[in-house]
Amino acid sequence: MKWNKKHLFIAALLPIQYLLVQLASKFPIFIETYYSTGIYVSISKFLRMLFGWIPFSIGDVLLFFLIFIFIRFLVRLVKTKFHFFSHKIIHFITIISMLYACFYLFWGLNYYRNPLSENLGFEQEKYTTQNLFNTTQSIIQQLNETQIRITKNDSIKVKSPYNQQEMYAIAIESYEQLANKYPQFSYQFPSVKSSLMSLLQSYNGTSGYFNPLTGEAQVNARIPKTSYPTTTCHEMAHQLGFAAENEANFIGFLAANHSDDIYFTYASYRMAFGYCISELRKRDPEKYALLMKTVNVGILKDFKESYDFWEQYQNPFEPLIKKGYDAYLKANNQQKGVDSYNYVVDLLISYFEKTGFENLKN
């Protein structure tokens, strides 16, 4: 079998691309100025215009196809008893090289942009346990009040009246409200969809994902509805070029909190409470226990329902998938891996201490 020169050339570009990405990562101001707020804005809008109108997830179909290609590659290797192994490996590396280029061109360089705290213009300093306690206490107050406004009873669990499509529409409106205060979060040309792989996502422990090759925000349609608003807003934040998970979490909180819809307001405080109370539990179990006594029973029922939902999908493969995703995040400027999600607490405390709760929804 003759060597395909085109394949050899594209495969040889893979290490060069890697070195270029590593070099670009040293210049966050350059990436922020010329990529994240420059070329990426046009790329993301184009992808959302191209695929947003299609009612199902093109990204999911693409992933199914790539998985099929990979399985086919392995089967053919075995069937041919590894004949022409080097040629087939070069062909495989060629595909990886092209995907690598598309990933970083279409979105991935956003991992190396300036921190969100600089974008928003507030100091992000190391917080104390007392800072965390005060913020969590205030969040609980807001969460309790919002839950009672919805249910009229502190022991009744919140039940969202919306279907998925209605929540996507409200999420888009939420970003419109947020953009009035923070223009950098302006969101145009919607492309938010329920994932065709929702069952698989449930088993691998994910609530949603963003596909950088198609620009679509995918949401696991099976997750409890009370967490649906912030999950949707989180994936939309990725579409806007905020790649870091803690930053997408924070923007998801902001968008849901700026919504005129009370169920989105509830979801925003619910998410903020979940992260802050978990961190307080690690730092000071006594203060954690003290604050948990102040949480409305209906809210505790809500969290219990979410816990039961994820428990039913526990399986031996989930930890392996989590380790793989952890390695992916660490390779893309998130040194804490999957724990990066929890670093939203830093942003929440910094934001609340700067703005105060009087500026939030009541």
235 pLDDT band (50/70/90 cuts)?
A: very high
| pLDDT for 322 beyond 60 | yes
Q: 342 pLDDT band (50/70/90 cuts)?
A: low
Q: Tokens in use for 79? A: 């069937």
Out of 50, 79, 110, a domain closes at 110
Question: What distance separates the 2 farthest-apart alpha carbons in the chain?
Answer: 75
Q: What is the DSSP string of 310-361?
A: HHTT--TTHHHHHHHHHHHHHTTT-TTGGGGGGGHHHHHHHHHHHH-GGGS-
* Number of domains forming the structure of the chain: 2
Give the rounded percent of residues in the chain with a pLDDT score beyond 70: 94
Point out the domain boundary residue: 60, 78, 110. Answer: 110
The verdict on 19 and 51 lying in the same domain is yes
| Model confidence pLDDT, tens digit, residues 218-233 | 999 999 999 999 999 9
Out of 55, 84, 110, a domain closes at 110
Q: Which of 181, 272, 281 is nearest to 234 (CA)?
A: 272
Question: Per-residue pLDDT tens for 294-306?
Answer: 999 999 999 999 9
Residue 282 and residue 209 share a domain:
yes
Rg (CA), the chain: 22
Please check whether residues 139 and 280 belong to one and the same domain: yes
How far is Cα 84 from Cα 81, in angstroms, rounded to an integer?
9
Query: What average pLDDT does the segment 194-203 reach?
Result: 94
327 pLDDT band (50/70/90 cuts)? confident
Length of the chain (residues): 362
In a domain, 191, yes or no: yes
Phi, psi (5° rounding) for residue 232?
-60, -50
pLDDT at residue 320 in the model:
82
115 part of a folded domain: no
Do 205 and 81 belong together in one domain? no
Q: Does residue 120 belong to any structural domain of this protein?
A: no
| 73 and 43 together in one domain | yes
Q: What is the pTM of this model?
A: 0.93
Q: Is residue 254 part of a domain?
A: yes
- The reply to whether 91 and 152 lie within a common domain is no
The answer to whether residue 123 sits within a structural domain is: no
Confidence of residue 69 (pLDDT cuts 50, 70, 90): confident
- Kind and range of the H or E element at 211? strand 208-211
- Which pLDDT value is given to residue 352? 84
Residue pointed to by tokens 């893309």: 332
Burial of 74 (0-12, 13-18, 19+ CB in 10 A): exposed
> Taking residues 229-240, what's their average pLDDT?
98
Is residue 221 domain-shared with residue 186, that is, in the same domain?
A: yes
Angstrom CA distances, 253 to 178, 179, 275, 356, stand at 11, 14, 11, 15
pLDDT higher for 285 or 82?
285
Q: How far apart are CA 65 and CA 85, in angstroms?
A: 22
Would you state the pLDDT for residue 80?
78
pLDDT at 152: 97
Q: What was the pLDDT predicted at 329?
A: 73
Residue 263 phi/psi, 5-degree rounding, is -70, -30
Identify the burial level of 306 via C-beta atoms within 10 angstroms of its C-beta, where 0-12 means exposed, 13-18 middle and 19 or more buried. middle
Residue 173 is assigned to a structural domain of this protein: yes
- Tell me the CB-side half-sphere exposure of residue 310, using CA atoms within 13 A: 12
Q: Is the same domain home to 208 and 234?
A: yes
Within a domain: residue 250?
yes
57 and 187, same domain (yes or no): no
Model confidence at 317, pLDDT cuts 50, 70, 90, reads: confident
pLDDT value at 357 more than 90: no
CA atoms of 101 and 108, how far apart (whole Å): 9
Q: What are phi and psi of 211, to 5 degrees?
A: -100, 110
Same domain (yes/no): 22, 83? yes
Bridge partners of 209, per DSSP, are 218
Can you give the pLDDT at residue 362?
47
Range of 267's domain? 128-359
Torsion of CA 87, 91, 97, 98, to 10 degrees: 160
Give me the mean pLDDT over the 51-77 stretch: 90
pLDDT above 90 (res 361): no
Closest CA to 309 of 227, 200, 224, 206: 224
Asked whether the beta carbons of 259 and 265 are under 8 A apart, the reply is: yes
Strand 216-219 relative to strand 208-211, pairing: antiparallel
Domain-embedded: residue 118: no
Q: Which residues contact 358 (CB under 8 A, 6 or more apart)?
A: none
Closest CA to 335 of 6, 55, 111: 111
% the chain with pLDDT above 90: 74
* Residue 257 host element (H or E): helix 245-257
In this structure, the answer to whether residues 99 and 159 fall within a common structural domain is no
Given a contact cutoff of 8 angstroms between Cβ atoms, the answer to whether 193 and 216 are in contact is yes
Task: Give the mean pLDDT of the chain.
Answer: 91
Query: pLDDT per residue over 151-172, tens digit each?
Result: 999 999 999 999 999 999 999 9
Does the pLDDT value for residue 345 go beyond 60? yes
Instruction: Specify whether 79 is located in the same domain as 188.
Output: no
